[in-house]
C-alpha cells in the first residue's frame, strides 16, 4: 500500500518541485516503486523530468475534470520504478471548474484509490497556493512534507500553512500527518541560514528532517536538462542530500510499521477478563493518541 505524501507550501520558490522530482528519483533509486503527481499548472515537475509541453498529452486535468482513468495518464519517467502523472496549463481552469462539482475535495483521493497497491510512494507536487488543487492533494494524502527556504520571510508562511492543515484535519482528512519540515537552500556560510534552521528546530523539534538541502548549482541546473540531479551529477552535494532524505523518509516509514506491530503484539497479549480488557482498551486509546504525536506522524504545533 503506497504512502501518499503531499509536498506543499503556499509560498513559492521554496523547493517544492525540486524536492518532488529529486526525492522521487532517490526513492526509485532505493528500489521503491514511486509515482510523482504534478498538480501545479506551471507543470515544472513535468518538464524537470524531461517532458516538453505537448497539447495532445493527457494530464491530471483529464482525470480530475473529465473523469478519465489515471492509469491511462501515467507516463514512464525514463527511470526504473519511477512514473509521472503530468500537468499542463489547463489545471488553472480545473481549480475553477472543481468549485461546482460533487465531492470536489475528494476527486484526487478517489482516483488514487486504484493506484495505492501499485506503488510504495506517491508524491504530489502542489501549487504555491491553498486552492482546490492543493486541498485535493492534502485530502488524498497520508502526510504532508513542508519545504522551507532558510530565509526570514519563509518563516512567516509556516504558521498559515499549519493553521490550514489543522482546519483540514477537522473537516476533510482527520488522519493527515506531518511527514516532516525540510530546510532548503541552506547556506552554511551565512548566519541567517543557521539562525533560521536553529529557530525551526527549536520550535518544531523532531518534525524537522535531519537532512538539509543546500544551495547547489548542479541542483539548479538539472531541470534545464530534463533530468533529476541524480542523473545530472550524482556526486554533487544536492544529489547526496536528496539520497539522504530518501533514506530518512524510508526509515521513518519503517519506524511506523514497527510501532504498529508493537501495538498489535501488545493487543494480542492483553488479558481477557472484562475488567482487564476495559483497562487495556483505555490504555490503547491513550497510546494511540501519543503514538500519533511522535516522529514523522506528529500533529503540527499550534502557534
d(CA 211, CA 93): 37
How far is 32 from 197, CA to CA, in rounded Å?
A: 30
Domain spans of the chain, in order of start: 3-297
Give just the sign of the alpha carbon dihedral 265, 271, 272, 275: negative
pTM (two decimals): 0.84
As a whole number of angstroms, the distance between CA 175 and CA 139 comes to 9
Per-residue pLDDT band at 287 (split at 50, 70, 90): very low
Yes or no: say if 108 and 136 are a contact pair by the CB < 8 Å rule.
yes
Domain 3-297: assigned CATH number: 3.40.50.300
What's the whole-number average pLDDT of the chain? 86
What does the alpha-carbon distance between residue 289 and residue 35 come to, in Å, rounded to a whole number?
Answer: 30
* For the chain, percent of residues with pLDDT exceeding 90: 68
Instruction: Please provide the distance, in angstroms rounded to a whole number, between the alpha carbons at the two ends of the chain.
Output: 34
Average pLDDT over residues 114-123: 94
Mean pLDDT lowest for which of 45-49, 223-227, 255-259? Answer: 255-259
- Has residue 282 got a pLDDT over 80? no
Query: pLDDT at residue 223 above 60?
Result: yes
Closest CA to 296 of 172, 146, 165: 146
- The Cα 286–Cα 282 span in angstroms is 6
Q: Is the pLDDT of residue 229 over 70?
A: yes
Amino acid at each position: 500500500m503506497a504512502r501518499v505524501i503531499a509536498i506543499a507550501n503556499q509560498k513559492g520558490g521554496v523547493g517544492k518541485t525540486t524536492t518532488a522530482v529529486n526525492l522521487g528519483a532517490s526513492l526509485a533509486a532505493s528500489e521503491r516503486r514511486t509515482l510523482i503527481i504534478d498538480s501545479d499548472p506551471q507543470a515544472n515537475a513535468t518538464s524537470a523530468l524531461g517532458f516538453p509541453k505537448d497539447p495532445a498529452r493527457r494530464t491530471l486535468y483529464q482525470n480530475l475534470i473529465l473523469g478519465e482513468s489515471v492509469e491511462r495518464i501515467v507516463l514512464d519517467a525514463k527511470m526504473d520504478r519511477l512514473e509521472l502523472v503530468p500537468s499542463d496549463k489547463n489545471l488553472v481552469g480545473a481549480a475553477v471548474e472543481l468549485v461546482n462539482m460533487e465531492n470536489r475535495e475528494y476527486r484526487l483521493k478517489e482516483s488514487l484509490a486504484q493506484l495505492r497497491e501499485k506503488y510504495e510512494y506517491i508524491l504530489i507536487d502542489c501549487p504555491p497556493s491553498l486552492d482546490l488543487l492543493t486541498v485535493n492533494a492534502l485530502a488524498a494524502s497520508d502526510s504532508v512534507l513542508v519545504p522551507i527556504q532558510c530565509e526570514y520571510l519563509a518563516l512567516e508562511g509556516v504558521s498559515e500553512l499549519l493553521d490550514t492543515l489543522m482546519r483540514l484535519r477537522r473537516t476533510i482528512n482527520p488522519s493527515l500527518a506531518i511527514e516532516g519540515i525540510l530546510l532548503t537552500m541552506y547556506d552554511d556560510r551565512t548566519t541567517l541560514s543557521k539562525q533560521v534552521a536553529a529557530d525551526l528546530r527549536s520550535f518544531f523539534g523532531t518534525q524537522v528532517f535531519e537532512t538539509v538541502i543546500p544551495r547547489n548549482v548542479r541542483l539548479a541546473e538539472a531541470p534545464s536538462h530534463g533530468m533529476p540531479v541524480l542523473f545530472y551529477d550524482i556526486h554533487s552535494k544536492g544529489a547526496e542530500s536528496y539520497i539522504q532524505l530518501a533514506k530518512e523518509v524510508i526509515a521513518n516509514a519503517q519506524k511506523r510499521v514497527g510501532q504498529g506491530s508493537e501495538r498489535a503484539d501488545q493487543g494480542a497479549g492483553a488479558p481477557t477478563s472484562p475488567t482487564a480488557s476495559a483497562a487495556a482498551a483505555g490504555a490503547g486509546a491513550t497510546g494511540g493518541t501519543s503514538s500519533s504525536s511522535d516522529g514523522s506522524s506528529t500533529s503540527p504545533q499550534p502557534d
